[in-house]
Amino acid sequence: MRMMARLWALAALAVLLVAVPALAETAKVVATVASPAGTLAVRVELDGEGRPAYAITRRGTDIVAPSRLGFLFTDQPKMERGFALAGQSTRTVDETWEQPWGEWRTIANHFNELRVRLKEKAAPVRELPARELDVVFRVYDDGVGFRYEFPDQPQLKTVRIADELTEFAVAGKGEAWWIPGGEWNRYEYLYQHTSPDAVGQAHTPLTIRLADGTHIAVHEAALVDYSAMWLRRVEGTRFKAVLAPGAQGAKVVRAAPFATPWRTLIFADSAGGLYQSHLELNLNEPNTLGDVSWFTPQKFVGVWWEMHLDRSTWSTGRKHGATTANVRRYIDFAAANGIPGVLVEGWNVGWDGQWFGNGNDFDFKKPTPDLDLPGVAAYAKSKGVSIVGHHETGGGVSHYESQLGAALDYAQGLGIGVIKTGYVADAGQVERVDPNGTQLREWHDGQWMARHHLLVVTEAAKRHIAIDSHEPIKDTGLRRTYPNWVAREGARGMEYNAWGEPKNPPNHEATLAFTRMLSGPMDFTPGIVSLRGKGDTPIASTLAKQLALYVVLYSPVQMLADLPENYAKYPDALAFIKAVPVDWSDTRVLNGEIGQYATFARKDRAHNANGGDDWYIGSVGDDQPRTLTVALDFLDAGRDYTAHIYRDGPNADWHTDGHPMTVENRTVHQGDTLTLPLARGGGAAVQLVAGKGR
Ligand code: NOJ
C-alpha cells in the first residue's frame, strides 16, 4: 500500500514537472520601458502561473534573463504567483542636482520610470481581498534600479518579510569579484576572483565582467529601515536576494505603505564606466538636512596607527596612547602641516577589559584620568585644529544608544565636528537590549542596525557633527539624503597592513576601486609612508602608491595614517599629501582593469586662490611592473599646467624596497600624454597646478 502511494506521488510529481513549463516558455510580456537613449530596456513578464519576472536587454540583447520577483512572509502565504497586471504608468525625469561635497559637483539624473501594479487573481487569505504589490523600475542608460512598494491594504497592514525572492539572472560567462556575505568578519574579507558560477553567497556590490567586456555591478540603493541584501547563487549565474537576518524571526517588519530599497544593476563597457555611474546617488532621496556647510571635507592625523602597531594601547596604563602629552604631540604635527583634524582613539573610559564584542563598559562622556580632553581640545582650537571624536561601541549598540544624545552633546561642547564610530563585534553579535530587558543578537547589516545608523546620523546632524562609521552597514548612497554620513569602512582597510594575516595583497586597492568603492566613500586610512606594519614587516606598496591612494580611494575625510616621525622622514611624500584635496568637482577614470590597475583624475573643488582649477591623478597597480600612458585630454585648452609627478623610482619594488620615488616637475598642456611606470606594488601620483593661458 505504501509502495502504491509512493508511486502515485512520483507520477503526480512527473505530471507536475511536465505540466509546469519553464518561466521563459509561456511568459507574456505585460509592460516594457527603455532608457532615455534606448541603450537599456526592461520588460516585465507574467508566466502561465502568474509569476512575475523582469528581464533587461542592453543594446538589444538580454543581459539579465527573466528573473523572478516576490516575497516570503512569516505569517501568511508567499507572494510569488497567481498575479495579473492591474495597471501600469510611466514618467520621465531629466534634471541635475548638486552635491554639497563629493567626487562630482553636478549630477545628471535622467531616467524613464515604469510602475506596474500586480494583483493576485485570488485571495490567499479567505474573506480578505486579493493582495497587491507595485514594482517600480527606473531605467537609465547606464543602469536599472527597481524596488517594491507595498500599498496600504487590509490583509497586509504589518508586513513581516521572511525573505525576498528577487532574482538576478546575469547572462553569460565571465569573471566575478566578491566577498562572502553572512560570514563572521562582516565585510572584511580578501576579494575573491572567480567565475560567476563559482560565487557562493556574496555581499554587494558584486562586480562581474562578462567575456565580451561588459561590466556589471549588482548592488542596492537607499537601504533605509530594511535588511541588507546578500546575493546567493542559485544555479549557473542566477543569483537570488537573501536578506540579512533579524533577531526576532522576520528579517524585516514594516507598516504599509512602504517601499523597499532599490535593487540596482549598473552596466558599462569598462571598469571605469561602473565608477562613473551616478545610479546609486540618484536613487536616493534628496538632501533632508538643508544647509550642511558646517561640514568641511578634511584631512586628519591621529593617535591610531601606533596602537595598531602595538606600540601603545587603547587601554589605560603604561602604554596608553591617548595621554595629554601624546595628543598634544599630534596636535602640534597637525598644526605645523595645515591638517585640520586629530583623531583620538582610546580617549574614554571602557577600554580596559574585553571591549571587543562587549561595549558595555564604554562611557562616551568620560575621558581617561591621564587625558585632559577639554584642555587638549582648547589647545587644538588655539592652533586652528579640532579633535575628531571616536565612539567605539564594541557592538554594545543599545548601551551606546542609551548615551547617544549626551555623548553627542559632550562632543559638540568640545568643538568636535566629525566622529568616527565603531562596531567591533563578530557578525550576528551586535548586542540589542529591548526596553523590557530582553537581550538579542543582531547582524551589522540587519534592519535593526539600518535603523540604528540613521538614528546616530540624524542625532549627529542636529549637533552639526559628521559621522564616519567603521564596521558599518554597507554604503548605499545615503550620503545624498544625509550628507553628514560622510564615510564608512566596510572592507579591509589599511589596518590589515599593520597586523593582518595575511596583509592586503598588492592588487587590493585596484580591486577596491571597482568593487567596494562603487558603493561610496571609504575611510581606508592611507599614507603609511614607512611602508611597515607591526614588527617592521613590509606592506605591499611603494611610497608613490601611498600617495596615489588619496586620489583613487575617495573619501571627504582622509587620514594621514602614519606616525608624525615617519612623515618627517619623507618630506616629498608629505608635500603631496598636504596638497591633495579631499573635495572634487569632477572625476574621470582614465583606465582600469579590476584587480590589476586603476588610474583616476580628479579636479579640485576648493575655493582657494587657484579657484579649484587644479587636477590630480592617482594610479595604483598590482604585483606586476607595468607602464601606463595617460592622455591629459581633460585639462583646459590653451592653459599651462605645472605637473609635479611622484612616480616609482628605478629600483622601487615592494618586495625589496618600495621607497625609491622620483619627483619630476614639468609643464604640460591639454593633449599631452604622461607615462607612468608602476613598480611591483607600485603607483603614481600627479599634481597638475593650473597656470595662465599659453
Ligand atoms: C576597528 C577600526 O577599523 C579601527 O580603525 C579602530 O582603530 C579599531 N576598530 C578600534 O576602534
pLDDT digits (tens, 9 = 90+) for 452-508: 999 999 999 999 999 999 999 999 999 999 999 999 999 999 999 999 999 999 999
Q: Confirm if 260 and 170 have CB atoms less than 8 A apart.
A: no
Catalytic, out of 127, 495, 593, 664: 495
> Can you give the pLDDT at residue 24?
46
Reported as a pLDDT band with limits 50, 70 and 90, residue 18 is very low
Q: Percent of the chain having pLDDT more than 90?
A: 94
pLDDT tens-digit series, residues 337-391: 999 999 999 999 999 999 999 999 999 999 999 999 999 999 999 999 999 999 9
Q: Which is it for the CA torsion 50, 54, 57, 61, positive or negative?
A: negative
- Start-to-end CA distance of the chain, whole Å, equals 97
For ligand 1, the distance from its centroid to the CA atom of residue 558, given in whole angstroms, is 15
> Can you give the pLDDT at residue 125?
77
Q: Over the chain, what is the mean pLDDT?
A: 95
Long-range contacts, stretch 371-378, CB < 8 angstroms, 24+ apart = 371/322, 371/323, 371/324, 371/327, 371/344, 371/347, 372/324, 373/344, 373/347, 373/414, 374/414, 375/324, 376/324, 376/327, 376/328, 376/331, 376/344, 377/414, 377/415, 377/416
Q: How far apart are CA 379 and CA 178, in angstroms?
A: 45
Question: If you take atom 11 of ligand 1, which residue's CA is the nearest one?
Answer: 392
Sheet with 584-593, edge to edge strand ranges: 584-593, 597-604, 615-620, 683-693, 639-648, 661-668
Residue with cell 616609482: 648
281 in helix, strand or coil?
helix
Residue 49 has pLDDT above 70, yes or no: yes
The 10 Å CB-count burial string (b at 16+, else e) for 665-691 is: eeebeeeeebebbbbbbbbbbbbbbbe
Residue 229 has pLDDT above 50, yes or no: yes
75: amino acid identity, one letter: D
For ligand 1, the distance from its centroid to the CA atom of residue 355, given in whole angstroms, is 12
C-alpha cell belonging to residue 175: 569573471
> Can you give the pLDDT at residue 25?
55
Question: If you take atom 3 of ligand 1, which residue's CA is the nearest one?
Answer: 470
Reported as a pLDDT band with limits 50, 70 and 90, residue 128 is confident
Q: Is the CB of 581 under 6 A from ligand 1?
A: no
- Output the CA angle 567-573-578, nearest 5 degrees: 80
Reported as a pLDDT band with limits 50, 70 and 90, residue 613 is very high
Residue with cell 599614507: 527
> For helices 397-413 and 447-462, what crossing angle results, to 10°?
10
Q: Percent of the chain having pLDDT more than 70?
A: 95
> Can you give the pLDDT at residue 609?
54
> Can you give the pLDDT at residue 612?
85
Q: Is the CB of 45 under 6 A from ligand 1?
A: no
User: 70: closest CA among 241, 259, 283, 252?
Assistant: 241
593 part of the active site = no
Cis peptide preceding 180, ω within 30 of 0:
no
Q: How far apart are CA 148 and CA 259, in angstroms?
A: 6
Best mutation site among 392, 471, 534 for ligand 1, i.e. most ligand atoms within 8 A of its Cβ? 392
C-alpha cell belonging to residue 643: 605637473
Q: Confirm if 445 and 452 have CB atoms less than 8 A apart.
A: no
Strands (E), 121-251: 132-139, 143-150, 158-164, 167-170, 174-178, 192-194, 201-202, 206-210, 215-221, 229-235, 238-243
Residue 1 has pLDDT above 50, yes or no: no
Q: Alpha carbon of 510 to those of 329, 579, 679, 682: distances in Å?
A: 34, 23, 14, 11
Radius of gyration (Cα) for the chain, nearest Å?
Answer: 26
Question: If you take atom 2 of ligand 1, which residue's CA is the nearest one?
Answer: 470
For ligand 1, the distance from its centroid to the CA atom of residue 245, given in whole angstroms, is 25
> Can you give the pLDDT at residue 19?
38
| Phi/psi of residue 437, nearest 5 degrees | 95, -5
Contacts of 376 (CB under 8 A, 6+ apart): 324, 327, 328, 331, 344, 387
> Can you give the pLDDT at residue 610?
59
> Can you give the pLDDT at residue 529?
99
Q: Alpha carbon of 66 to those of 47, 82, 238, 346: distances in Å?
A: 10, 17, 10, 52
DSSP element (H, E) containing 61: strand 61-68
